[in-house]
Amino acid sequence: MEYKRNEAQEKKEILNRYKNLLTASRRRMEKGDKALIRKAFEMAVEAHKDMRRKSGEPYIYHPIAVAQICAEEVGLGTTSIVCALLHDTVEDTDITIDDIKGMFGERIAKIIDGLTKISGVFDQTSSLQAENFRKMLLTLSDDIRVILIKLADRLHNMRTLESMAHDKQIKIASETLYLYAPLAHRLGLNAIKSELEDLGLKYTHGDAYDDIAEKLKESEPERKKFIAKFIEPLKDILKEQDFKFKIFGRPKSIFSIYNKIKFKGVSFEEIYDLFAIRIVINSKIEEEKADCWKIYSIITDFYHPSPERLRDWISTPKANGYESLHTTVMGPEGKWVEVQIRTDRMDEIAEKGYAAHWKYKDTASEKESQLEEWIGRIREMLESPEENALDFIDDFKLNLFAEEIFVFTPKGEMRTIPSGATALDFAFDIHTKIGEHCIGAKVNHKLVPLSYELKSGDQVEILTSKKQHPNEDWLKFVITAKAKSKIKNALKEQRKKTAAEGREILERKFYRHKLEFTIQNIKEFAGFLKLPSTQEVFYRAAKDVVGSDEIKEYVNFKKHPEKYVNKKLEQQHTIEELVNTKRGKSDWLVIGDDMEKLDYKLSPCCNPIPGDDVFGFITVGEGIKIHRVNCPNAVKLLSNYAYRVVKAKWNSQQLLTFLASIKIKGTDALGIVNNITKIISTQHNVNMRSITFDTEDGIFEGMIMVYVHSTEHLNQLSTNLKKVPGVISVQRVDSEKQKVN
């Protein structure tokens, strides 16, 4: 009876959620849409009827929630809602694409096919995962709704992540921060991007997230009081001038506050722009620009603006469609306040991105062409199938979050390129051939080298020569994915041509040594030289690195193989073999799902110590490396190589010591260094490996490397050091910022 009652309750809850979905969809519904959504809903309920989520809830809750996000938060229409309801049916149930085509037509079937193909983006092997990501981007240019629904799907998964195992939470959250949040940013989905980042932080750096959330909560009453005081005089004058407006304070996202603390080295209390004041006005399209500048004029009559902090994204919107006027003014109590001025249309586009543009079809044509331009760039990047898929993802990701600058061609045409782009990036942006033959540029009529970094407002003329060709050095100073991809392709082509010349050279040398120039002999020769391919042999022959001496040695080897000790290349083990065979002597660190005792190395990029939240990363050459979960390289490793990550935890504590670095800041006072070292060596019996102090204008900064037993031990030491008079902050830092292999 108990089960039946629950079943009845669940049915009631499913219908309730369906009704909420219909309410959210109503604004965009046309004749026949309700029946179509109902048909999709019934099909999804039937298909998923015996399935449950990890939380124990009926699986159907998930597709309904994804459809709700599409309707309410992204502003998509009936087609997308139907696709969201059915997005997991082809992958997880007996329903086929043909069934969907028969019931809902070609267009819906095509979108669901796209969603099914990309469902395994983060799969078991890194190359497959990267190739799937490539496929996902290809679908982006067929129908952007595929990506928008996928982002809604990821957002709901992140909102319900607490029911997953801890290691799965970290992997999924890392993928989200690495690729999904940047994608949402590029597509202009600001609200979704911020929530994905905050939720990603919650599961990758839980302590930092909780700490900031708690401080935001504590400071809320004070913030509200300040915002009310700031807004009061503005409200009256805006009403007086007949503006229809909303004015409110928006706290910054936890993730953006965390980034400021981490990268600018400031404390929570030192961040002045914890919130922004937003003024949203109701304005006719043709009067938008003038009205926003009027509001700016009113604000600056009351509060002094900072001239360096004016951002006009109304005259030149961002490439993701974002339009707004930002200024920072000196508010009451001597606090700087960021003010954002925009219209209702701009606000909706800022929150919902390109989906909202469709609502303003006539006015959005320019923005849509920017989206088309971006998608066109992706298609170009995808044209080279030989490119290393992981390099491709890294290059692509760089271009997702990059801020844009605006530069002009000699004829005055404005082009958008990422901030930090060079003259060579700009050349490739115009055309591949212009990039390949670029020898320099004139910026504002002055001659500059290829590596010159462009600034907003520059007028750029590219100089070319047919004799010029790409070289390896170019890759060091281009930042756009298009330029990198085209240079790599050109270098590959050059290498192929050189290898073709090398083949002829090698053929002549083989015959000179009375060797047949057969495929078998060339492959054997490559194996003898331990080179990866015959093409590499030909290339080296052209460059005169492989020649007569090597051929003579190979001839001797063929005659007397017994004289040569055949050093076989170390066999590549599977990950499973590595995990199962790397049995260690350690009895205080255990790794893997079965928590076996294994050999390991502590990674130098983050120096984990007992008590840190850690994971194991499998390398073929050096076994398992242990990283802290908040290691600088963690997000990349967890999202790109999830299949090589194993669980790890500290099993029991022995009094072994580990190296950790702490940075101390404070005001320079007599005897302060003595007081600090006394606490370290006397109170905590800690050995120091190195200590450096530097003072400037009465402020000192010290870096101390100490041997500690655990995180707890280090935290106790930090707490006591903070008590020393004159010490302002004590924080742990990663001692070696080196790349992980």
Q: Which residues are catalytic?
A: 91-92
Q: Which of 597, 602, 653 is nearest to 627 (CA)?
A: 602
Contacts by residues 500-506 (CB-CB < 8 Å, ≥ 24 positions apart): 500/538, 501/542, 502/537, 502/538, 502/539, 502/540, 502/541, 502/542, 502/543, 503/538, 503/541, 505/541, 505/542, 506/537, 506/538, 506/541, 506/546
Q: Which of 688, 692, 690, 682 is nearest to 720 (CA)?
A: 682
Structural Rg of the chain based on CA atoms: 30
Distance CA 682, CA 675 (A): 10
With residue 22 as reference, give the H or E element that holds it: helix 2-25
Distance CA 426, CA 445 (A): 16
Residues ≥6 apart with Cβ < 8 Å to 722: 729, 730
CA distance readout (Å), 617 to 599, 602, 642: 12, 10, 9
Residues ≥6 apart with Cβ < 8 Å to 372: none
Instruction: Go through 70-99 and write b for each residue having 16 or more CB atoms within 10 A of its CB, e for each that does not.
Output: bbbbbbbbbbbbbbbbbbbbbeebebeeeb
Residues ≥6 apart with Cβ < 8 Å to 720: 679, 683, 684
State whether the Cα torsion 17-19-21-23 is positive or negative: negative
The residues that bridge with 649 in the sheet, in sequence order, are 590
